[in-house]
Amino acid sequence: MADFQSKNECLDAVILKHNSIIEEMCHMHIKVQNLEQRQQQQPQQQPFSQLPFEGVKLEKPQTQQMYQNNLQRRQPQQNKKPRVLHHVSEYDEPLKSSSNAWRPTKKRGMMSDDEDIIRQFRSLLNKLTPENFDRIIHQMKRINITKEGHLKDIVQLVLNKAMMESKFSEVYANMCSHLSKIAVHETSKPGNILNFHILLIQGCQDEYVIGMDGSSSLDNEAFKEKARQRALGNIIFIGELFNAEVLHESIISDIVRELLKDGKEQSLEYLCRLLGVVGQNLDSKQPAMINEYFTSLNELLKGKKMSSRIRFMLQDLIDLRKVSHSCLRLVCQFTINTCLKAFACLSACILFPSSAEMDFTSKGSATDVPSGGS
């Protein structure tokens, strides 16, 4: 009975599907008849070739010739100049170029001998590091410096480099100690000898005077800060030149006395930087002189009103002398080898705290790598 009902249901579904198909076919037949009736009602058009063009002769288009003509138009003509659009406005003004505008570097063959000498020294100066110090100094000494202009330009390069990169002042000061004997004949007075040492001292003195007077007169804060950093770099470089035995201690003494006498916060900051660099060396050579300086600093701390920044700076300098300036020399030029040794020592301290020892008080050099216990 159930099978009979399912067969009836299937038969009903087939009948419904068949009826829907027949209905769709009827609709399509009606649409075709309507379309044929519309076409019969429209007038029949003549073909294009039978249209009555009186006096006109139709020819086939010359496709090859037209292609060649179009190709010639697309190719750029040799004698024809390109069209340039000029924008004309009453507000247009010529561009103003600054005095220090960038200009392309001259080719090596177009350089004069003087420019080539300065270029060689600048290239070596930029490559100077504690690792390649001896090799670079040897190459610098081989440069043919024979004119007064050469020597002045080279000294100015060194000063600018040392003042702007005060962290490497120790390296540049040691370089100056090796180059201090370079000498040339003076242009205005051929009998006089002008050497690197004299020009370097004059340059440091000029920058010191500019740093004391020039930075306070500037209105722009950015320029004032740049001038202050340059003056600080010059003070640090002067201290490193004293440590490298390029400057005499009398020059340092004159600078310290002048800064103490001035008493301004800017001068006191310069004084702290200078004594921080030369303090240990000066204390071993002239202990009475350094005692006098620090006595004056203690009096300033007790009586003079100053900002907290300068007061802490002076107090740190006094505390630094109590430990014989040993902490200060930690801030020095670490080479790659000493950095690796320092890293090994720190690692040994972590792994073997009972047997690892470090000593960085000897001018930034680390001891040998300690052997860890098993």
230 and 135: one domain? Answer: yes
Note whether residue 119 is domain-resident: yes
215 and 341: one domain? Answer: no
Note whether residue 165 is domain-resident: yes
Specify the number of domains making up the chain. Answer: 2
234 and 121: one domain? Answer: yes
239 and 346: one domain? Answer: no
Long-range contacts formed by 224-233: CB under 8 A, 24+ apart: 228/266, 229/164, 230/163, 230/164, 231/207, 231/270, 232/166, 232/269, 232/270, 232/273, 233/162, 233/163, 233/164, 233/165, 233/166, 233/169
Note whether residue 328 is domain-resident: no
> What is the pLDDT, as a whole number, of residue 326?
46
Residue range 220-258, pLDDT digits in tens: 778 888 888 999 999 999 999 999 999 999 999 999 999
Q: What is the CATH number of the domain that holds 124?
A: 1.25.40.180
- Where residue 354 falls among pLDDT bands split at 50, 70, 90? low
Q: Between these two residues, 129 and 6, which has the higher pLDDT value?
A: 129
118 and 242: one domain? Answer: yes
Note whether residue 86 is domain-resident: no
Residue range 266-306, pLDDT digits in tens: 999 999 999 999 988 888 888 888 889 899 988 888 887 88
Instruction: State the average pLDDT for the chain.
Output: 77
Note whether residue 189 is domain-resident: yes
Note whether residue 98 is domain-resident: no
Residue range 68-117, pLDDT digits in tens: 676 666 665 556 666 666 655 555 566 777 777 777 665 555 567 888 99
The last residue of a domain, from among 212, 247, 282? 247
Instruction: Provide the CA 107 distance to its chain's centre, in angstroms.
Output: 24
Q: Quick one: what percent of the chain has pLDDT higher than 90?
A: 31
Note whether residue 127 is domain-resident: yes
243 and 338: one domain? Answer: no
Residue span of the structural domain in which 222 resides: 113-247
230 and 118: one domain? Answer: yes
Note whether residue 124 is domain-resident: yes
